[in-house]
């Protein structure tokens, strides 16, 4: 079986300025979590397409690894953001 890598689709970065403390926080939120096969020629790199068909060119790698049998393929904190098409492809549906 091919290794599955988790990749993140991010919202465009937003800038939050706290005028009281003079801090700026620039960050991106996770829009969706996708599953991709590992590229057989480059260890640790996802293949060109996620299981749902989305290009992985603009997706960010996520270092999550399931902790054991029955563990979700995605990081548990992103349960509501998992790609249902990727999940269906993983389950063979």
User: 77-89, pLDDT tens digit by residue?
Assistant: 999 999 999 999 9
Distance CA 93, CA 87 (A): 9
Task: Find the mean pLDDT for residues 56-62.
Answer: 95
Integer angstrom CA distances of residue 41 from 46, 54, 76, 88: 10, 20, 29, 26
In this predicted structure, which of 15-19, 29-33, 79-83 has the lowest mean pLDDT? 15-19
Question: The pTM is what?
Answer: 0.81
Cβ atoms 58, 34 nearer than 8 A: no
Residue 3 vs residue 74, higher pLDDT: 74
């Amino acid at each position: 079986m091919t290794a599955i890598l988790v990749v993140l689709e991010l919202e465009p970065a937003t800038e939050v300025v706290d005028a009281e403390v003079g801090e700026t926080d620039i960050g991106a939120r996770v829009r969706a979590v996708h599953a991709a096969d590992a590229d057989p020629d480059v260890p640790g790199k996802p293949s060109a397409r996620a299981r749902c068909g989305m290009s992985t060119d603009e997706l960010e790698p996520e270092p999550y690894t399931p902790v054991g049998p029955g563990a979700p393929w995605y990081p548990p904190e992103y349960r509501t953001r998992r790609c249902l098409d990727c999940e269906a492809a993983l389950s063979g549906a």
